[in-house]
Structure 1
Amino acid sequence: MISLSLCGIRGGVGTTSLLAAMGHALNRLDQRVLLVELCPENVLGLHFNLAAREAEGWARAMLDGQDWHRQAWQLAPGLCLLPYGRLDEAEQLRVEQRLLASPREWNKRLAQLAGQFDWVLFDLPQRLPGHVGSIRGDVRIRVLAPDMACHVLLQRQGEEGFLLVNGYDSASRLQQDLLLVWRQHHGERVVPVVVHRDEAMGEALACKQSVIGYAPQSLVTEDAISLATWCLSREAAC
């Protein structure tokens, strides 16, 4: 079982939508996939037609003394989702404090899932160190938008994990230049697949679907499948 985490270098780079697409793509490639929402915003389920007011999830269960296993939803054969749950800010802080006190909590939980899934994909928040530190996955990917804000933020961070460009417009000279600079400077850390800007991604969320289910012939669906294929080939080579 392989654990993979996505985290945006800043907000608004499309990390959650991308994670939903990757999970769906891996499942289409005959992989058993569990998607885990570690972001308190709790929006990953919206990509799979969960009700916006759905309150249950693993964090809600943690505070209520319930079994986190029972919070998972089966979306399709071999594709499951574990939402965060609806919490107010004070409750989110309590979960953060518990995770800070129990480092690598999710690594312990992964041990309980061994044999049930081929991939566990985590949607990580940006500024909750307890949440982020509770998982030390096999593959960690930082999601970037091809803009100057992400370029500056990237220079301030350490050389850890892979870098994935999302929302790429091949007609933009600036974005072409940024991608070239990142590939030259960071080398193999930059995932060779770029995810192109495509209106289908936003439309899919409006229809409460992953983009693969909403627009199977779209460019961004092709990118998501290529990304899933890269993940499989990379792990096969290790």
Structure 2
Amino acid sequence: MPSLAVISLAGGVGRTTLTAALATLAARQGQSSLAVDWDPQNLLALHFGLEQPPAQGLAANDANGRPWQDSALRSAEGALVLPFGRLDVEQLRDWYPQMARQRGWLAERLAQIDRPDPASVAVWTFIDTPRSPSLLTEQAMLAADAVLLVLRADPGAVALLPEALAMAAAKPLVALLNGFDASRPLQQGVRAALQARLGARLAPHVVHRDEAVPEAFARQVALSDAAPHAQATHDLHGLLRWLGGRFDSPLQLQLGADDVG
């Protein structure tokens, strides 16, 4: 199974929520699941039950001269979680030049993590990223096998699509509509426009707008626990199965995005 950089060019599309949900579902299915927070907002761990953003993390430990491996957490579902950690503006200003010089920094660190043999169990990595374009998003895409582009069904998604495709041109890409409301004709029209442009790269499984999602986050429980029969829960199960089928062999990851059926 692939490592996926979860990206978007718009804010508020649900990248972090989606990253956590997919990592949790994969872990609950007995698969090896790693969720990486590569966003300075440092909120991913809250989706795994923490009450406050953790001070330690992959970036924060490195910037403060501590072993980054010490920041790893294990969720109740069995997913391995790497927080970003807490860095203030001044610390980020000092740390970013290092990331600009060492574009493969994240890929090198993730390669050091001991993971199971993919021949014996599915191995997933989901990398949450800041809003693109971003130096950190570029690093995440370099570290990943493929890109998951998260979109809202609004005109902005269509307008920004060429930029997103150009930015991720070096990696296989699939796109997902998140927070979809089928009752709105505008959203149906945007979905049709994206389908015409993306073809098989647009996931057939949209994640519908569902109040169960923010409610589960507020209660600090997994969506599948808070609302196992919710539409969004069903959508996410379908999406994970589709992603597994989409990238179930090294050959498919080596092919260009337009060549993968």
TM range (shorter): over 0.9
How big is the shift at 1:228? Answer: 0.9
Q: 1:32 to 1:113 in 2, by over 3 A?
A: same
Structure 2 contact 158–193 (Cα < 8 Å) conserved: no
Q: Does 1:202 align with 2:214?
A: yes
Structure 2 contact 45–53 (Cα < 8 Å) conserved: no
Give the corresponding residue for 2:92.
92
Q: Distance in 1 between matches of 2:106 and 2:53?
A: 25
Structure 2 contact 24–77 (Cα < 8 Å) conserved: no
Q: Does 1:163 align with 2:158?
A: no
Give the corresponding residue for 1:182.
194
Structure 1 contact 58–68 (Cα < 8 Å) conserved: yes
Q: Distance in 1 between matches of 2:53 and 2:115?
A: 32
Mark the runs of 5 or more structure 1 residues left unpaired by the alignment.
Answer: none
Q: Give me the TM-score of the superposition, normalised by structure 2.
A: 0.85
Q: 1:209 to 1:9 in 2, by over 3 A?
A: farther
Structure 1 contact 7–124 (Cα < 8 Å) conserved: yes
Give the corresponding residue for 1:123.
128
How big is the shift at 1:93? Answer: 2.4
How big is the shift at 1:88? Answer: 0.8
Q: Give me the TM-score of the superposition, normalised by structure 1.
A: 0.93
Give the corresponding residue for 2:27.
27
* Structure 2 counterpart of 1:146, from 153, 159, 164: 153
Structure 2 contact 46–53 (Cα < 8 Å) conserved: no
Q: Does 1:106 align with 2:106?
A: yes
Question: What is the CA RMSD across the aligned residues, in angstroms?
Answer: 1.8
Tell me which moved more, 138-147 or 25-34.
Answer: 25-34
SS of the equivalent of 2:125 reads strand
Q: Distance in 1 between matches of 2:216 and 2:77?
A: 21
Structure 1 outlier segments of 4+, above 4 Å: none
Q: How does 1:218-229 map to 2 (within 5 A)?
A: 218-229=230-241
Q: What letter corresponds to residue 225 of structure 1 in structure 2?
A: H
Tell me which moved more, 49-58 or 144-153.
Answer: 49-58
SS of the equivalent of 1:236 reads coil
How big is the shift at 1:213? Answer: 2.9
Structure 2 contact 61–67 (Cα < 8 Å) conserved: yes
Q: Percent identity?
A: 32
Structure 2 contact 5–148 (Cα < 8 Å) conserved: yes
How big is the shift at 1:227? Answer: 1.0
Tell me which moved more, 110-119 or 86-95.
Answer: 110-119
Mark the runs of 5 or more structure 2 residues left unpaired by the alignment.
Answer: 118-122, 253-261
Structure 2 contact 130–137 (Cα < 8 Å) conserved: yes
Number of residue-to-residue matches in the alignment: 238
Q: What letter corresponds to residue 229 of structure 2 in structure 1?
A: Q
Structure 2 contact 28–77 (Cα < 8 Å) conserved: no
